[in-house]
Amino acid sequence: MREAIMEAEAGMRGGRGGPFGCVVVRRGEIIARGSNRVTSTNDPTAHAEITAIRDACQTLGTFSLEDCELYTNCEPCPMCLAAIYWARIPRVFYGNTRTDAAAIGFDDDFIYQQIPLPPERRAIDMKLLLRDEAQKAFAEWQAKPDKVRY
């Protein structure tokens, strides 16, 4: 956790982004590091956890981090939490809560509140469109014999 905290401080002090840092650990060894790089890369998805997960996957040559742990200095936002699930990381340790993040001006808690709402009640205008046409790609995927499940 101290390494994740140091990543957060170094990234923030270096002007790369907000006060968030992360490390991915495998078998007791840090295999990837990440700090928030949203403002320095103009990429709203460049959160510390995302950058660390991307680095870990590249390092290991896999999209599954099922034998890793993630340490982050703040409870993951919904996007990062989803990425953690997609990467199959079984254990996460965090230092600050999403309420702590909201107290210093970050939207994590607001987004958490939006997710369980039906699409028509969210702050973002969402409309279902061309579902029948969109279903074709799903049907093709379902029938694809050589697909790689993830």
Count of Cβ atoms closer than 10 Å to residue 144 Cβ: 9
Report the amino acid identity of residue 34. Answer: G
- 133 belongs to the catalytic site: no
HEC per residue, 35-94:
ECCHHHHCCCCCCHHHHHHHHHHHHHCCCCCCCEEEEEEECCCHHHHHHHHHCCCCEEEE
User: Which of helix, strand or coil describes residue 2?
Assistant: helix
| Candidate list 3, 9, 49, 133, residue with the active-site label | 49
Structure tokens at 121: 């009640």
Kindly list the catalytic residues.
49
